[in-house]
Amino acid sequence: MTILATPVVTVVDGDAGVRKALVSLIRSAGWMARAFASAREFLACPRTLIPGCLVVDVALPDLDGLELQRRIADRVEMPIIFTARIFDVSTTVRAMKAGAFEFMTKPFRNAAMLSAIRAGIEHSHVALSREADLLSLHERFESLSCRERQVMALVVQGRMNKVIAAELGISEITVKAHRGKLMLKMRTRSLAELVIVATRLAYTNASINTNVQSPLIASVHTVCPS
Q: What is the pLDDT of residues 166-195, one digit of tens each?
A: 999 999 999 999 999 999 999 999 999 999
Q: Is the pLDDT of residue 7 over 70?
A: yes
CATH number at residue 68: 3.40.50.2300
State the DSSP code for 64.
Answer: -
Bridge pairing between strands 52-57 and 102-105: unpaired
Query: What whole-number distance in Å separates Cα of residue 12 and Cα of residue 49?
Result: 18
Does one domain contain both 67 and 171?
A: no
Cβ proximity of 51 and 32 under 8 Å: no
Q: Is the pLDDT of residue 203 over 80?
A: no
On whether residue 55 sits in a domain, the answer given is yes
On whether residue 1 sits in a domain, the answer given is no
* Residues in the chain, total: 226
The region, left, alpha or beta by phi > 0 then psi within -120 to 50, assigned to residue 187 is left
On whether residue 167 sits in a domain, the answer given is yes
- 3 state DSSP class of 222: coil
CATH number at residue 214: 1.10.10.10
| Predicted TM-score of the model (pTM) | 0.69
Q: What is the pLDDT of residue 10?
A: 97
Between the CA of residue 184 and those of 148, 165, 193, what are the distances in Å?
11, 20, 12
- Provide the domain count of the chain: 2
Does one domain contain both 122 and 159?
A: no
145 or 207, higher pLDDT: 145
To the nearest 10°, report the CA torsion of 117, 121, 126, 129: 160
Does one domain contain both 35 and 87?
A: yes
Does one domain contain both 152 and 116?
A: no
Domain residues for the domain of 182 are 143-221
Q: What is the pLDDT of residue 177?
A: 96
Q: Is the pLDDT of residue 36 over 90?
A: yes
For residue 110, what pLDDT band results from cuts at 50, 70 and 90? very high
Q: What is the pLDDT of residue 226?
A: 56
Does one domain contain both 202 and 147?
A: yes
Does one domain contain both 112 and 168?
A: no
For residue 77, what pLDDT band results from cuts at 50, 70 and 90? confident
Instruction: Taking residues 60-75, report their average pLDDT.
Output: 92
Query: What whole-number distance in Å separates Cα of residue 155 and Cα of residue 223?
Result: 18
The region, left, alpha or beta by phi > 0 then psi within -120 to 50, assigned to residue 86 is beta
Q: What is the pLDDT of residue 117?
A: 97
Q: What is the pLDDT of residue 207?
A: 38
On whether residue 137 sits in a domain, the answer given is no
On whether residue 138 sits in a domain, the answer given is no
Instruction: Taking residues 111-122, report their average pLDDT.
Output: 96
Q: Is the pLDDT of residue 135 over 50?
A: yes
